[in-house]
């Protein structure tokens, strides 16, 4: 993966109690912001709903800080935790 | 690209195990601020810091938000003021401390280090003036930290300065008595002080450092503790390996932040300091890691061995994760800033003497230890002399940051709040080293200093 693209990939993690409409709500917000979802996986880990999305921020309309605020706000509404982080952090920690 | 386990492991480190980047510290050279007029020099110091560090805090906050990494402190270290002020007309250096304080407040950092002098082999006139100004400087500023290097393995120990610092520490305590000797929390003496240390109170930008530089201090006792919980009952080889892996991951986070901060601020990257720095928060303690080794409480026999192994494994894991490592790089063992250390002191298991032994293998020394306010200056100098000897004769950095709290005695506790935490007053051996301290002079450098 090139340096340029790497910079624009982010990881969104959604953790909390499962309920109807989580994926829909998150995807809707991302679509409105021009953020493309590259990969999505979800699982129930120790009774906790966990969703991980790899997203592409290349055509994003706002910037990652505003998007982080909006996702946090959405998370508060749905009573779940939603975080977005540059993919670089996972790359740094888990790849040599 | 990443599996779920890796992503969740990272998230948990930040959310549950208190992983953070402890500090981004910008080193700023003040060499070109020197003039023969103290007012002009002070103004130049203020202007230069405000210009260089204008975007430091905002950049730190941006990186924190975008990467989801808590970055606790943004700080500044500067050229030792004794060098910058040497040609000025005044012997009262508090004006420079006030200039540093105002600049730090203006750019929004939470500490600025460098009200410092390097006196390991003797005093210049400027060093004397700086030392004499320390108590007043620390009592009349909020954000300024002061450090004095008293010894190195190459030069030996300046025992005149060791004697004087005992008195200066007491004077600093006295002038800040209304705040439980808060001034002493901002004052540290060193043997073998690193010139690129990003951590306070000992940060300064050494004379061999560049014009401006970014140094980053990582942290993460909680991550190491958590990793060790998964290795319960295993032999110590497995424990060492587990610590190394955790340290590697922690350091990579620091390296990423340092690289990004350096790029955005257009300031060269200096070093990553691989220190495990505790906070008073539960779950962020070095003492609790040592207990995870299998000790009933920190301070029990075996503590020094466990700490030695921890310190070494952190360095081995961290070194591979960063292109440049420096500063203090090891486990800190401050008392007031570590919930487990406080508990160990309160239970009677951890004495000042045991702490001294631990400093032979940790990254710094007797740190954030509160003692009775009526402790004589020569006893404080004796504590300093012993620490300086440990550092000088073992080729390592050691330090003393000790707080004689006026009006307080063993059994009392002082509370500073925030990261400085709270400290139980520790008992001090009252046998007098007065005649020894009074001799003054220098302790010659150890034989193994002659390596040429």
With beta carbons under 8 A apart, name residues in chain B contacting A41.
4
B68, A89: Cβ pair inside 8 Å? yes
For the record, the structure tokens of B317 come out as: 């894991």
Where do the domains of chain A lie?
A: 3-94
State yes or no: pLDDT of B219 exceeds 90: no
**Does residue B183 sit in the same domain as residue B144?**
yes
Mean pLDDT of all residues in chain B? 95
Of B174 and B330, more confident: B174
B256, A89: Cβ pair inside 8 Å? yes
CATH code, A3-94: 3.30.70.260
Query: Pick from B191, B208, B239: which residue ends a domain?
Result: B191
Calculate the CA dihedral of residues A78, A81, A86, A89 and round it to 10 degrees.
-170
With beta carbons under 8 A apart, name residues in chain B contacting A92.
252-253, 255-256
**Does residue B366 sit in the same domain as residue B309?**
yes
What is the per-residue pLDDT for B202? 95
Query: Which DSSP string corresponds to B100-158?
Result: HHHHHHHHT-S-EEEEEEE-SS---HHHHHHHHHHHHHHHH-SSEEEEEEEEETTTEEE
CA-to-CA separations, B72 to B19, B57, B105, B274, B418, in angstroms, rounded: 10, 11, 16, 16, 12
**pLDDT (tens digit per residue) in B228-244:** 999 999 999 999 999 99
| Closest CA of chain A from B71, distance in Å | 14
B256, A88: Cβ pair inside 8 Å? yes
* Nearest CB partner across the interface for B256, out of A11, A92, A94: A92
- Angle formed by the axes of helices B236-265 and B303-319, to 10°? 50
For B139-149, what is the mean pLDDT? 98
State yes or no: pLDDT of A5 exceeds 60: no
**pLDDT (tens digit per residue) in B335-374:** 999 999 999 999 999 999 999 999 999 878 899 999 999 9
What is the per-residue pLDDT for A27? 93
**pLDDT (tens digit per residue) in B51-91:** 999 999 999 999 999 998 999 999 999 999 999 999 999 99
**pLDDT (tens digit per residue) in B7-37:** 888 888 888 888 889 999 999 999 999 999 9
Burial class (CB in 10 A: 0-12, 13-18, 19+), B36: exposed
**Does residue B115 sit in the same domain as residue B174?**
yes
CB B381 within 8 A of CB B390: no
**Does residue B151 sit in the same domain as residue B261?**
no
End-to-end alpha-carbon separation of chain B, Å?
Answer: 51
B10, A54: Cβ pair inside 8 Å? no
Instruction: Using the structure block, give the residue that is written with the tokens 């999505």.
Output: A40
Half-sphere exposure of B232 (CA within 13 A, CB side): 7
Is B4 part of any domain? Answer: no
**Does residue B137 sit in the same domain as residue B44?**
yes
What is the per-residue pLDDT for A7? 59
A87, B255: Cβ pair inside 8 Å? no
Please name every residue paired with B443 in a beta bridge, in sequence order, or none if there are none.
B157
Is B450 part of any domain? Answer: no
Give residue B259's domain range: 217-437
With beta carbons under 8 A apart, name residues in chain B contacting A49.
none
Helices (H), A9-45: 22-32
For B284-309, what is the mean pLDDT? 96
Chain B, residues 60-119, CB within 8 A of chain A, namely: 62, 65-69
Helices (H), B221-302: 221-229, 236-265, 286-292
**Does residue B292 sit in the same domain as residue B182?**
no
What is the per-residue pLDDT for A38? 92
- Can you tell me the distance from the alpha carbon of B99 to that of B88, in angstroms, rounded to the nearest whole number? 15
A89, B2: Cβ pair inside 8 Å? no
Which is nearest to B194 in space by CA: B99, B274, B279? B274
With beta carbons under 8 A apart, name residues in chain B contacting A88.
67, 256
CB B96 within 8 A of CB B85: yes
B1, A54: Cβ pair inside 8 Å? yes
Chain A, residues 34-93, CB within 8 A of chain B, namely: 39, 41, 43, 45, 50, 52, 54, 64-65, 68, 81, 83-93
Query: Pick from B191, B226, B255: which residue ends a domain?
Result: B191
What is the per-residue pLDDT for B233? 92
**Does residue B290 sit in the same domain as residue B410?**
yes
With beta carbons under 8 A apart, name residues in chain B contacting A68.
65-66, 68
**pLDDT (tens digit per residue) in A22-47:** 889 999 999 999 999 999 998 887 77
Number of domains present in the structure of chain B: 2
B1, A94: Cβ pair inside 8 Å? no
**B14, B58, B68: best mutation site toward chain A, by most A Cβ within 10 Å?**
B68
Nearest CA in chain A to B7: A90
B252, A92: Cβ pair inside 8 Å? yes
With beta carbons under 8 A apart, name residues in chain B contacting A8.
none
**Does residue B153 sit in the same domain as residue B265?**
no
Nearest CA in chain A to B11: A13
**Does residue B399 sit in the same domain as residue B266?**
yes
Q: Which strands sit side by side in the sheet containing A9-16, from one edge to the other?
A: A36-45, A48-56, A9-16, A80-86
Our CA angle for B142, B147, B152, nearest 5°, is: 170
What is the per-residue pLDDT for A48? 81
With beta carbons under 8 A apart, name residues in chain B contacting A13.
7-8, 11
With beta carbons under 8 A apart, name residues in chain B contacting A39.
1
For the record, the structure tokens of B402 come out as: 């000790």
Which is nearest to B351 in space by CA: B290, B318, B303, B313? B303
**Does residue B165 sit in the same domain as residue B290?**
no
For the record, the structure tokens of B244 come out as: 């190394």
Question: Cα-flanking dihedrals φ and ψ of residue B76, to 5°?
Answer: -130, 140
B417-434 burial: b if 16+ Cβ within 10 Å, else e: eebbbbbbbbbbeeeebe
Query: Pick from B156, B174, B191: which residue ends a domain?
Result: B191
Q: Is the dihedral of CA B437, B441, B445, B447 positive or negative?
A: negative
Highest mean pLDDT among B2-6, B273-277, B383-387, B416-420: B383-387
State yes or no: pLDDT of B1 exceeds 80: no
Are β-strands A48-56 and B21-28 bridged in parallel, bridged antiparallel, or unpaired? Answer: unpaired
Q: What SS3 class is residue B58? A: helix
**Does residue B105 sit in the same domain as residue B41?**
yes
| CATH number for B131 | 3.20.70.20
For B286-302, what is the mean pLDDT? 96
Query: Chain A within 8 Å of B410 (Cβ-Cβ)?
Result: no
For B374-383, what is the mean pLDDT? 98
State yes or no: pLDDT of B3 exceeds 90: no
State yes or no: pLDDT of A4 exceeds 50: no
């Amino acid at each position: 993966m090139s340096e340029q693209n790497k910079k624009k990939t982010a990881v969104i993690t959604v953790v909390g109690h499962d309920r109807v409409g989580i994926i829909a709500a998150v995807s809707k917000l991302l679509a409105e912001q021009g953020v493309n979802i590259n990969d999505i996986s979800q699982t129930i880990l120790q009774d906790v709903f966990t969703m991980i999305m790899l997203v592409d921020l290349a055509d994003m309309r706002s910037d990652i800080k505003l998007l982080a605020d909006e996702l946090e706000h959405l998370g508060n509404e749905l009573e779940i935790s939603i975080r977005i982080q540059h993919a670089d952090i996972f790359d740094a920690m888990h790849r040599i | 690209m990443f599996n779920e386990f890796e992503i969740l492991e990272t998230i948990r480190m930040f959310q549950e195990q208190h992983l953070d980047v402890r500090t981004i510290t910008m080193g700023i050279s003040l060499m070109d601020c020197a003039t023969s007029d103290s007012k002009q020099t002070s103004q130049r110091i203020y202007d230069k810091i405000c210009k260089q560090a204008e975007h430091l805090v905002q950049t730190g906050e941006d990186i924190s938000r975008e990467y989801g990494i808590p970055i606790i402190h943004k700080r500044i270290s500067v050229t030792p003021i004794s060098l910058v002020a040497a040609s000025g007309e005044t012997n009262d250096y508090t004006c420079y401390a006030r200039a540093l304080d105002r600049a730090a407040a203006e750019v929004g950092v939470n500490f600025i280090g460098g009200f410092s002098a390097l006196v390991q082999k003797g005093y210049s006139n400027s060093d004397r003036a700086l030392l004499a100004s320390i108590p007043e400087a620390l009592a009349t500023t909020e954000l300024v930290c002061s450090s004095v290097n008293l010894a190195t393995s190459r030069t030996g120990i300046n025992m005149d300065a060791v004697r004087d610092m005992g008195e200066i520490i007491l004077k600093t305590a006295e002038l800040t008595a209304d705040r439980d000797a808060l001034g002493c929390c901002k004052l540290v003496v060193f043997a073998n002080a690193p010139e690129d240390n990003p951590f306070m109170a000992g940060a300064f930008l050494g004379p061999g450092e560049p014009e401006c530089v970014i140094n980053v201090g990582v942290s993460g006792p909680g991550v190491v503790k958590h990793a060790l919980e998964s290795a319960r009952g295993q032999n110590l080889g497995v424990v060492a390996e587990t610590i190394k892996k955790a340290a590697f991951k922690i350091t990579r986070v620091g390296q990423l932040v340092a690289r990004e901060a350096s790029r955005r601020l257009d300031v060269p990257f200096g070093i990553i300091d691989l220190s495990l720095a505790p906070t008073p928060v539960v779950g962020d303690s070095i003492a609790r890691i040592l207990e995870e080794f299998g000790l009933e409480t920190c301070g029990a026999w075996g503590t020094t061995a466990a700490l030695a192994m921890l310190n070494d494994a952190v360095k081995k894991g961290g070194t591979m994760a960063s292109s440049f490592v420096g500063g203090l790089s090891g486990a800190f063992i401050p008392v007031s800033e570590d919930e487990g250390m406080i508990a160990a002191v309160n239970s009677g298991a951890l004495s000042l003497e045991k702490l001294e032994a631990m400093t032979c293998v940790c990254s710094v020394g007797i740190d954030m230890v509160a003692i009775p306010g009526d402790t004589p200056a020569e006893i404080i100098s004796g504590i300093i002399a012993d620490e300086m000897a440990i550092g000088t004769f073992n080729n390592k950095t050691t330090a003393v940051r000790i707080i004689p709290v006026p009006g307080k005695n063993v059994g009392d506790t002082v509370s500073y709040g925030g990261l400085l935490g709270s400290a139980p007053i520790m008992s001090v051996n009252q046998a007098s080293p007065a005649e020894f301290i009074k001799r003054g002079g220098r302790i010659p450098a150890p034989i193994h200093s002659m390596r040429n």
